[in-house]
């Protein structure tokens, strides 16, 4: 029996418990990734070839790989479509393996003649997967008639996922057109970290100090509007739901 079909055998409470655990794990990884982008990007911007930068890139890449797998694992809570799940899993494995072979900071196993095209392909594969997971997660979050613990973790997970996915989109644009953020940054982890920082600056209403291209600036407005709208929808929907344990018992 395929791994993802095992969840269909769980009871409703077990499914909620499993989903809560999946949300909680992915939030933890998201916090690590965002922290790396916001706090530890300085060495990468200064010199991506230094020993400190190589260590940061290695750790960051490890957590990014775990995050990619956890997104797929979270998706298994929302759909049993084998084609979708298998296609995403295969795509993630190919991206992760290729990334390790090309981006390993201590020794580059594979040399790519066109780094820009390579990064564009990887980002072009990952971003639609992030959007797919977010779509399923939002649908799940706003479904149901009772407040359950998984929805609270899901709220945090989706918010952080939105920030990271917009960072991925900004990075994708920067790879297609370098210096779109308004500064010259090395493509790869350094640019991605700066894009994540910029994305959460937009969500947090903080001035990033950057002068991005018109395209990124306009997308940033959409992100800011979506972030505010998401917050209002969460307050209006989730706070109005009764807790599951308050469900009246049948007599």
User: Would you give the distance in Å from CA 13 to the centre of its chain?
Assistant: 27
The tens place of each residue's pLDDT in the chain, 251 residues long, gives: 444 444 555 566 777 888 888 899 999 999 988 887 778 788 888 888 888 888 888 888 889 899 999 999 999 989 889 999 999 999 999 999 998 888 888 877 888 888 899 999 999 999 999 999 999 998 888 776 666 777 888 888 999 999 999 999 999 999 999 989 988 888 888 899 899 999 999 988 888 888 999 999 999 999 999 888 887 877 766 666 666 554 444 44
pLDDT for the residue numbered 187: 87
The full set of domain ranges for the chain reads 11-242
pLDDT for the residue numbered 7: 52
> Distance (Å, rounded) from C-alpha 101 to C-alpha 121?
15
| The token pair that represents 132 in the structure block | 């797919």
Q: Which among 96, 91, 107, 87 has a CA at the least distance from the CA of 65?
A: 96
Residue 177: other Cβ atoms inside 10 A = 12
Beta carbons of 160 and 30 less than 8 angstroms apart = yes
In three-state form (DSSP H/G/I as H, E/B as E, the rest C), the secondary structure along the chain is CCHHHHHHHCCHHHHHHHHHHHHHHHHHHHHHHHHHHHHCHHHHHHCCCCHHHHHHHHHHHHHHHHHHHHHHHHHCCCCCCHHHHHHHHHHHHHHHHHHHHHHCCCCCCCCCCCHHHHHHHHHHHHHHHHHHHHHHHHHHHCCCCCECHHHHHHHHHHHHHHHHHHHHHHHHHHHHCCCCCCCCCCCCHHHHHHHHHHHHHHHHCCCCCCCCCHHHHHHHHHHHHHHHHHHHHHHHHHCCCCEHHHCCCCC
pTM (two decimals): 0.85
> Distance (Å, rounded) from C-alpha 138 to C-alpha 124?
22
């Amino acid at each position: 029996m395929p791994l993802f079909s095992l969840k269909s055998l769980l009871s409703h409470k077990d499914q909620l418990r499993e989903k809560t655990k999946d949300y909680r794990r992915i939030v933890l990884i998201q916090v690590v990734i965002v922290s790396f982008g916001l706090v530890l990007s300085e060495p990468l911007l200064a010199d991506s070839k230094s020993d400190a930068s190589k260590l940061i890139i290695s750790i960051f890449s490890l957590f990014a790989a775990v995050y990619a797998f956890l997104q797929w694992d979270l998706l298994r809570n929302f759909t049993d479509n084998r084609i979708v799940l298998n296609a995403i899993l295969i795509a993630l494995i190919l991206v992760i393996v290729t990334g390790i072979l090309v981006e390993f900071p201590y020794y580059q196993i594979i040399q790519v003649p066109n780094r820009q095209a390579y990064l564009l392909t990887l980002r072009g594969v990952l971003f639609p997967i992030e959007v797919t997971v977010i779509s399923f997660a939002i649908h799940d979050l706003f479904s149901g008639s009772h407040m359950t613990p998984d929805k609270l973790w899901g709220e945090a997970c989706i918010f952080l996922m939105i920030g990271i996915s917009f960072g991925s989109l900004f990075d994708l644009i920067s790879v297609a057109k370098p210096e779109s953020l308004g500064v010259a940054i090395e493509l790869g982890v350094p640019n991605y970290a700066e894009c994540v920082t910029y994305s959460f600056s937009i969500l947090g209403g903080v001035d990033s100090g950057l002068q991005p291209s018109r395209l990124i600036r306009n997308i940033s407005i959409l992100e800011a509007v979506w972030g505010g709208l998401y917050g209002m929808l969460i307050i209006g929907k989730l706070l109005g739901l009764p807790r599951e344990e308050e469900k009246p018992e049948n007599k």
